[in-house]
Amino acid sequence: MLQASASGTSARKAGRTRGHQGGRFVVYALVGLIGLALALAPFLFPDVRSQEVAARICVFIVLVASYDLLIGYTGIVSFAHTMFFGMGAYGTAIALKSMGPGFEAILIGGGAGIIAALVLALLIGLLSLRVKAIFFAMVTLAAASVMMVLASQLSDFTGGEDGITYSIPRLFSPAFELLTDAEGKALRLFGVPLNGKIALYYFVFITALVLFLALLRIVASPLGSVLQAIRENEMRAEAIGYRVVFYRTAIFCIAAGVAACAGILRAVWLKYTGPEVVLSFDIMIDILLMVVIGGMGTMLGAVIGVVLMTLAQYYLKDLMAVGAEATASLPIVPDLLNPERWLLWLGLCFILLVYFFPAGIAGTMMGKGGHK
């Protein structure tokens, strides 16, 4: 009887492992497809809105992946991630506004934003990472609120609530022709003109790709194992010889630096920086949802979470409008599918995702989470 039970358990374990291997393959394939779609986005989806969606996805993948490094790999709950995102964006925006649209402004302003983010992260980390998680979360929430107030109050520098509008280097302007044909017009590839807008998209895409690969490298390195060990049990990690506060502070700084880089990309792409687009608490909630939907501690989940959330934010309304029109003859249904109710449906989708994928989509499919 016992033997039968033991063999049944082994069979179930083996079955689960096979399932997770299949799930892992699906996640890799999905992320590969998303990567390919983003790489070819200007040619696959040449309209302005789609390019805005693709660029936002690239920036948010970096932002969410860096947050996953914090919450998913190290177990640090921070509400200051948008603050660091905003520092990169504001540094770039202020420099572009005051120095003019040159690459040196992006380098100097972005660099200053990254340094400011690193210094602030170091201070918060050293002062607060010794305390319990909930107190640390509160400290970061307070810091983020102070930064919001400063961005609104220091309007001479930040433009206040209105934000800052500025120009970006000419290379990134739609009027700039990267390659010209015999007639002197912008050369077209698959019908798409090779102009500054394409250059700007690939600047965002390639930088985001490099940053994401760097984050993947970190979590795949021995440092990644140390972080996971700290997340699982701080005391055990200390007993092996790891200084938990040092590692937590270092990772907090790395995540802050990467978030600031994402802020630079956002500022350059939008040509506008304001509290609502880089510092608001709504963005922080979006980041949290994206990490949870994708799967904490998977890194690849960031890609899936960002794509799903962004597509829902941009296209769910349109989809519901089509649905409402198609079901116009039915009772109640068109009313339920009224595009104004998109947040309700988004919430329902989120509840269903959490129910069916308790460790996030990538987390559940790859068999992460739930073990001791």
Partner 1 sequence: MAPVLRLEDVHTDIGQYQILHGVSLDVPEGGVHVILGRNGAGKTTTLRTIMGLWKARRGAILFRGENISRLPTPDIAQRGIAFVPENMGIFGGLTVEENMRLATKDGRFDAERLARIHDIFPAIGQFWNKPAHALSGGQKQMLAVSRAIVERRELILIDEPTKGLAPSIIRNMIAAFREIAEETTILLVEQNFHFAKALGQTVAVIDDGGIVHRGAMAELATDVTLQSRFLSLSLEAH
Q: Which residues bind partner 1 (CB under 8 A)?
A: 13, 17, 222, 225-226, 228-229, 231-233, 235-244, 297, 368, 371-372
| Least Cβ distance, residue 372 to partner 1 (angstroms) | 5
Residue with smaller CB distance to partner 1, 56 or 368: 368
Quote the least distance from Cβ 47 to partner 1, whole Å.
Answer: 43
Residues 6+ apart with CB under 8 A from 92: 105, 106, 109, 110, 113, 263, 264, 267, 268, 273
Enter the tokens of residue 34.
């998303």
Closest approach of partner 1 to the CB of residue 294, in Å = 17
Which ranges of 40-132 does DSSP label H, i.e. alpha helix?
41-44, 48-68, 81-99, 103-128
How much helix, strand and coil, in percent to the nearest 5, is found in the chain?
75, 5, 20
DSSP tag of 275: H
Residues sharing a CB contact under 8 Å with residue 340, sequence separation 6 or more, in sequence order = none
Q: And the tokens for 223?
A: 């440092």
> The tokens 């941009």 sit on which residue?
314
Residues 6 or more apart whose CB falls under 8 angstroms from that of 349 comprise 312
- The least CB distance from residue 118 to partner 1, in Å, is 24
Report the residue number, 27 or 194, with the smaller CB distance to partner 1.
Answer: 27
The nearer residue to partner 1, 170 or 236, going by C-beta atoms, is 236
In the complex with partner 1, the residue whose CB is nearer, 108 or 223, is 223
Q: How far is the CB of 225 from partner 1 (least distance, A)?
A: 4
Distance of closest approach, residue 370 Cβ to partner 1, in angstroms: 9
Torsion region of 347: left, alpha or beta (phi above 0 gives left; psi -120 to 50 gives alpha): alpha
**Which residue from 48, 56, 274, 277 is spatially nearest to 165, judged by alpha carbons?**
274
**Minimum distance of partner 1 from residue 193's CB (angstroms):** 49
Nearer to partner 1, 296 or 309 (CB): 296
3-state secondary structure of 311: helix
Smallest gap from Cβ 290 to partner 1, in A, equals 21
Cβ distance to partner 1 smaller for residue 191 or 222: 222
242 or 272: CB nearest partner 1: 242
Residue with Cβ nearer partner 1 (13 or 185): 13
Tokens of 246: 């040092």
E strand or H helix at 192, and its extent?
strand 192-193
Nearest C-alpha neighbor of 56 from the set 306, 305, 260? 306
Cα–Cα distance measured from residue 76 to residue 228, given in angstroms and rounded to the nearest whole number? 11
Q: Which of 221, 209, 278, 260 is nearest to 73 (CA)?
A: 221
Residue type, position 3, single letter? Q
- The answer to whether residues 288 and 68 touch, using CB atoms and an 8 Å cutoff, is no
Q: Which is nearer to partner 1, 49 or 243 (CB)?
A: 243
Least gap, CB of 238 to partner 1 (angstroms):
4
| CA–CA distance, 175 with 169 (Å, rounded to integer) | 11
